[in-house]
Structure 1
Amino acid sequence: MMRSIVAAIAALALSASFAAAAEHEVRMLNSGESGPMVFEPSFVKAEPGDTIRFVPTDLSHNVEGIRGMLPEGVEPFRSKINEEYILTVTQEGIYGVKCTPHFAMGMVALIQVGDASGNLDAAKEAKLPGRAAERMEAAFAQVE
């Protein structure tokens, strides 16, 4: 009887945590508020278990994790061109993302999941091309 109660409480707690997960939408644009070739928003604050939906509203975009800008244990990811991509963030930390074809043009975004301190310094050290580095610096200014 006691095991059944404990199992029921555990199942309820687990389902409540998934029910509380949020979905964030990021649009991939040829032109946006901050100029050409952008993710909007370019900064997302999320919690473990949340999903980030990347929506290609214009042509020729994808999303890919930036080497050196993912929390330890997160597998590299890369979507296909012009396809919606859903990233479920499970590890706390900083997730840097880019549009592969437009990386040099500065098409980057930053996702903070929970506490960013685990890989924040390492993520800031990642080498990015000029325009991408400028936009990423603005995104890092929003990290809490």
Structure 2
Amino acid sequence: MKKLVFALTLSIACGSIFAAEHQVKMLNAGADGAMVFEPGFLRVAKGDTVKFIKTDASHNSAALAVPAGAQAWKGKMDEEIAVTLNHEGVYVYACDPHKIMAMAGVIQVGKPVNLAEAQKQADVLSKSFVMNKDRLSKYMAQVK
């Protein structure tokens, strides 16, 4: 029994050792234009953490679509937040004050189990953009 408990504890500990942290910058200008998250599309493994970095002022990150069972997040203005993604699927997020400027991004965790629902949310969001109207669709096209 002690060996079983030890093996279980070791396997749980090792799982967190292999989890990675990815950084997404919140920028006024970047490779994809004005008001962007960089990178705008990110593919990560289940259990990885994504840290949203305050590079420029007056931004936040808020989840708009998450897989079933996943926890949505909403960072405060100018707040760096770290989000651990424990559910497979597609996450769509945006900066609240700059959504209409297409400051949005996509994270794929493992298999895109909720792709249809995430695509619907991305399509609705894209209709509200006043600039960079195809940015989010380009990010969604990278989901495999």
TM-score by length of 1: 0.92
Give unmatched runs, 5+ long, in structure 1: none
Deviations 1:75-128 (A, max 9, x none): 332101011010110110001010000000000010000111x21011101111
One of 45, 48, 57 as aligned partner of 1:47: 45
> Would the aligned equivalents of 1:27 and 1:57 in 2 still touch at CA under 8 Å?
yes
Number of the residue aligned with 1:119:
114
Give unmatched runs, 5+ long, in structure 2: none
One of 62, 81, 88 as aligned partner of 1:85: 81
Number of the residue aligned with 2:58:
60
Number of the residue aligned with 2:27:
29
Any idea what SS the aligned residue of 1:73 has? coil
Provide the rounded CA distance (Å) in 2 between the counterparts of 1:122 and 1:30. 29
Deviations 1:32-59 (A, max 9, x none): 0110000000011111111000001001
Number of the residue aligned with 2:135:
135
Superposition map of 1:1-12 within 5 A:
3-12=1-10
Runs of 4+ aligned structure 1 residues displaced above 2 Å come to: 130-133
Provide the rounded CA distance (Å) in 1 between the counterparts of 2:133 and 2:89. 19
* AA in 1 matched with 2:142: Q
C-alpha RMSD of the superposition? 1.2
Identity of aligned residues (%): 37
Provide the rounded CA distance (Å) in 1 between the counterparts of 2:118 and 2:91. 8
Provide the rounded CA distance (Å) in 1 between the counterparts of 2:92 and 2:6. 38
Size of the alignment, in residue pairs?
139
Number of the residue aligned with 1:110:
106
Any idea what SS the aligned residue of 1:103 has? helix
Provide the rounded CA distance (Å) in 2 between the counterparts of 1:133 and 1:73. 30
Any idea what SS the aligned residue of 2:137 has? helix
